Copies of this chain bind each other. A is one copy, B any other.
Amino acid sequence: MAEGAGRKGDGRIACIVQYDGSGFNGWQIQAHGRSVQGEIEGAVRVLTRETVRVVASGRTDAGVHSLGQVIHFDLARDIPLQKICIGLNGILPPDISIRNAYRVEDSFHARFDAVEREYRYYIFNYPQRTPFMRYRAMWMREQVDVEYLRQAAAHIIGEFDFSSFCKKSEIHGKNPVRRLTDIRIARMDELIEIRVVGNAFLHHMVRIIVGTMVEMSRGGEEPSRIRDILEQRDRDFSGITAPPYGLYLYRVAYDPPLDSRESAF
């Protein structure tokens, strides 16, 4: 059974993974410190006695959270999906959980096959900080003008070279064009939620967009000025990188959707 399963092509597993990023040095295995990838690969090894390589839809930086990260890995043995899901949750530390597991075709790739990604950024907007939002949202004392943020966001929806909103050291030689399809901003009492949807994102892209919009709103600039910043294609023209702990990878979409496959739950 162990040798057959891999060849028959039913050995690739995809999972939806949630993690509280505050206790990790990020997704990727590092020389020092905890990584989400390292914890998951370790848990798979304990559960299955197989050494696997876990591939994510995208790396998240230190402190960034996930509500819907998608991963894949290959198992030689044929293990029921419920057992994978429940088993991994029994082994994983409390700041990571597997939300669901799917049996996918061997050609499925968590990163290359993703057709859409949604991030959410949270701002806690109140004169005093609250213990419940530390490591969970960016705190801003002064009243944030949500309508201003909406107006600014509208100017960068579309397919553009987003070099102005990418970590400077990372852009050289890469294709900086991304398609931003939607930015929705809502206030829920003291919490501002910024939903950002696109086909893919450059490194720090959501955090620089949020940081730039917020800085602009405080400076009283025309919302359309963000389009000028975009057209400069140069990180020097945009604003601060908003802190990682306000950012959540919320959803990764595939075509056909993951939900069309056999799942644990």
Contact = CB atoms under 8 A, between A and B. Distances in A.
Contact of A98 (B85, B89, B95, B128): B128
A96 interface: yes
B129 A97 contact: yes
Contacts of A19: 131
A112 interface: no
Contacts of A131: 18-20, 94-97
Do most interface residues of chain A lie in helix, strand or loop, or is the interface mixed? mixed
Nearest to A101: B128
Chain A interface size band reads: 20 to 34
A18 B134 CA distance: 12
A122 to B, nearest CB: 12
A107 interface: no
B95 A134 contact: yes
A80 interface: no
A97 B20 contact: no
Contacts of A265: 127-128
A187 interface: no
Interface string A67-93: 100000000000000000110010000
Contacts of A94: 129, 131, 134
A127 B262 CA distance: 17
Contacts of A99: 128, 130
Contacts of A128: 85-86, 89, 97-100, 265
Given A127-B265, A265-B127, A132 B20 contact: yes
28 contacts: A18-B130, A18-B131, A18-B132, A19-B131, A20-B131, A20-B132, A65-B132, A67-B132, A85-B128, A86-B128, A89-B128, A89-B129, A94-B129, A94-B131, A94-B134, A95-B131, A95-B134, A96-B131, A97-B128, A97-B129, A97-B130, A97-B131, A98-B128, A99-B128, A99-B130, A100-B128, A127-B265, A128-B265
Given A20-B132, A86-B128, A95-B131, 20 more contacts: A18-B130, A18-B131, A18-B132, A19-B131, A20-B131, A65-B132, A85-B128, A89-B128, A89-B129, A94-B129, A94-B134, A96-B131, A97-B128, A97-B129, A97-B131, A98-B128, A99-B128, A99-B130, A100-B128, A128-B265
